[in-house]
Amino acid sequence: MPAIPATSVANLRDLGGLPLAGGHAVRPGLVLRSAHLDRLDPAEPVVAALGIRTVVDLRTETERADRPDRLPSGARGLVADVLADHLATSGLPPAARLKALLTDPALAEEHLGGGQVRSAFARTYRTFVSGDSARAAYG
């Protein structure tokens, strides 16, 4: 999936061609993915040409509050917090709070040191698809 050359938003990609069940595939131009929509410039010609109508935000409430999305005019925003239940019961997994951990060497060592980082990321990525709130969000 080649990147769409937008300068205001990171890692913007068209998921068209991704295989689906039954031999089908995602239609090109239907589903895009990106990061940092707080930096999105809806007036950027490449972005405006995409005709974005819906943005699904998979981030936590704190992430959304810290860096609110900038949506194209007329686009609707949907919240689908994939970590909501995990946050309510045990806090964010270490890999999901990496930025905060890396500002404190002692915490980073406690949660990521001694080779724990690989398993921390594996657990976090599994939670993104297997947690109750994740399954509800994707549904």
136: in domain: no
70: in domain: yes
Residues 119/123/124/130 CA torsion (nearest 10 deg): 160
Q: DSSP assignment of 28-96, as one string?
A: TTT-EEEE-TTS--TTSHHHHTT---EEEE-S-HHHHHHS---PPTT-EEEE--TTHHHHHHH---GGG
Residue range of the domain that includes 56: 1-79
Segment 92-111, tens digit of pLDDT:
666 667 777 788 888 888 87
139: in domain: no
Residue 128 confidence (pLDDT):
83
Q: Quick one: average pLDDT of 6-20?
A: 94
Q: How many domains does the chain have?
A: 2
Residue 92 confidence (pLDDT):
67
71: in domain: yes
99: in domain: yes
14: in domain: yes
Cα gap 112→74, rounded to integer Å: 42
Percent share of the chain, pLDDT over 90: 50
Cα gap 70→98, rounded to integer Å: 24
Question: Please, which residues have CB within 8 angstroms of residue 99's CB and are 6 or more apart in sequence?
Answer: none
- Mean pLDDT of the residues in the chain: 87
Q: Which residues pair with 25 in a beta bridge?
A: 19
Same domain, yes or no: 46 and 13:
yes
Segment 53-98, tens digit of pLDDT:
999 999 888 889 989 999 999 999 999 998 888 765 556 666 667 7
Same domain, yes or no: 53 and 5:
yes
Segment 14-61, tens digit of pLDDT:
999 999 999 999 999 999 999 889 999 999 999 999 999 999 999 888
pTM above 0.85? no
